């Protein structure tokens, strides 16, 4: 574990060309998630959670993420939750074995969520959470890992999962290492399968820069897809140094409606005002009583009281609101 907090800042700027104009990139310190309002999610292939848990805990103390999806957690039943817990977060796991695969999700204690039952653990290394936030329609976060050696059954299963979410009208955010290089000039069959699913369900891929850089390759294999790009505030890539994969993040808009209070205005309407009758009623009032007060403020108050008794008699009150 390194003893500093310089997270190997990226030489590549996060790209947001798929985002609406309102979701522009802001100037910020390198290696940090922008301080923008919204629900902050990230995904990282960590290649052994136990090995890097201390570094991850330090990063999570710095970054205020609502949700973190981990690929290649490499956990099994012999690793208790207590060994990989992060303060302030619940952990949800789908293990494979200590030397390969596995996914898990860290989510803040304060966030209400449900684990979706549509994922078949025998076919797909994935977790799907329905997120519920106050003043915001619920949305689904699907965390997936596709091993490089997996066959087409992964895409069959992924398509079935997304089809069920889509048919229910769910907003979907798909994150994970799918081992499909979206920067390839000549995509292989796996990448073509992924592109087909994205096109079928109108999923927009938010990232455009490499997420795994080695001495011999620069590939975009860690992805973030959404079927509602209007709800995306920002997205990007951060090169942490914890793993040979970059962390990818997305910030989803959280709506907080303004609490409007009804305002009622009452005014006097004299549309049917009879001036002769009004003057007659005024003449009958004991105006001389105001002379009993030496204090001019009390005198004015008494005069106003007398006058309003007649004005109220002749008015029609109207309310606007």
Any domain includes 196: yes
Between 278 and 56, residue with greater pLDDT: 56
Q: Please tell me the predicted confidence (pLDDT) of residue 5.
A: 36
Task: Tell me, yes or no, whether 225 and 276 share the same domain.
Answer: no
> What range defines the domain where residue 131 resides?
39-252
Contact by Cβ (8 Å): 238, 10: yes
Neighbouring CB atoms inside 10 A of 209's CB total 17
DSSP sequence for 243-308:
SSBPEEEEEE------------EEEEE-TT--HHHHHHHHHTS-GGGGGG-SSHHHHHHHHHHHHH
> Is the overall model pTM greater than 0.75, yes or no?
no
83-139 residue pLDDT tens:
999 999 999 999 998 899 999 999 999 999 999 888 776 778 999 999 987 777 889
Q: Return mean pLDDT, the chain.
A: 83
Boundary (domain end) residue, out of 202, 226, 252:
252
Task: Tell me, yes or no, whether 83 and 215 share the same domain.
Answer: yes
DSSP state at residue 191: H
Task: Tell me, yes or no, whether 67 and 207 share the same domain.
Answer: yes
When pLDDT is cut at 50, 70 and 90, the band that residue 310 belongs to is confident
pLDDT at residue 30 is higher than 60? no
Boundary (domain end) residue, out of 201, 225, 252:
252
Any domain includes 23: no
Residue among 178, 161, 182, 183 at smallest CA distance from 170: 161
Mean pLDDT of 229-253: 93
Between 11 and 76, residue with greater pLDDT: 76
Task: Tell me, yes or no, whether 173 and 295 share the same domain.
Answer: no
Any domain includes 221: yes
Percent of the chain surpassing pLDDT 90: 55
Q: Please tell me the predicted confidence (pLDDT) of residue 129.
A: 95
Encoded tokens for 163: 């089809």
DSSP sequence for 142-188:
EEEE--TT--THHHHHHHHHHHHHHHTT--EEEEEE----TT-SS--
Alpha carbon distance 66, 36 (integer Å):
13
When pLDDT is cut at 50, 70 and 90, the band that residue 60 belongs to is very high
Strand pairing category for 222-226 and 172-177: antiparallel
DSSP state at residue 28: -
């Amino acid at each position: 574990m390194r003893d500093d907090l310089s997270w190997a800042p990226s030489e590549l700027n996060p790209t947001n060309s798929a985002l609406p104009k309102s979701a522009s990139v802001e100037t910020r310190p390198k290696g940090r998630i922008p301080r923008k309002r919204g629900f902050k999610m990230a995904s990282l292939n960590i290649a052994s959670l136990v090995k890097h848990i201390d570094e991850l805990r330090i990063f999570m103390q710095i970054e205020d993420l609502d949700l973190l999806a981990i690929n290649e957690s490499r956990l099994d039943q012999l690793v208790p939750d207590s060994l990989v817990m992060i303060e302030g977060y619940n952990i949800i796991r789908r293990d494979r074995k200590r030397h390969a695969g596995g996914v898990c999700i860290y989510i803040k204690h304060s966030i209400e969520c449900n684990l979706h039952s549509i994922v078949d653990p025998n076919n797909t290394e994935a977790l799907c959470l329905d997120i519920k936030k106050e003043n915001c329609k619920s949305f689904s976060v699907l965390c997936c890992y596709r091993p490089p050696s997996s066959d087409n059954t992964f895409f069959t299963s992924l398509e079935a999962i997304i089809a069920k979410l889509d048919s229910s009208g769910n907003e979907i955010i798909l994150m994970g290492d799918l081992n499909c290089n979206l920067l390839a000039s000549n995509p292989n069959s796996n990448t073509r399968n992924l592109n087909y699913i994205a096109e079928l369900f109108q999923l927009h891929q938010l990232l455009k820069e490499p997420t795994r850089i080695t001495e011999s390759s620069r590939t975009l294999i860690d992805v973030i897809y959404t079927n509602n790009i209007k709800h995306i505030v920002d997205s990007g890539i951060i090169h942490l140094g914890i793993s040979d994969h970059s962390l990818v993040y997305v910030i989803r808009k959280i709506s907080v409606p303004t609490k409007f209070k009804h305002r009622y205005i009452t005014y006097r309407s004299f549309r049917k005002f009879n001036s002769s009758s009004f003057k007659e009623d005024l003449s009958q009032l004991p105006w001389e009583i105001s002379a009993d007060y030496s204090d001019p403020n009390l005198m004015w108050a008494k005069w106003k009281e007398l006058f309003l008794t007649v004005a109220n008699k002749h008015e029609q009150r109207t309310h606007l609101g």
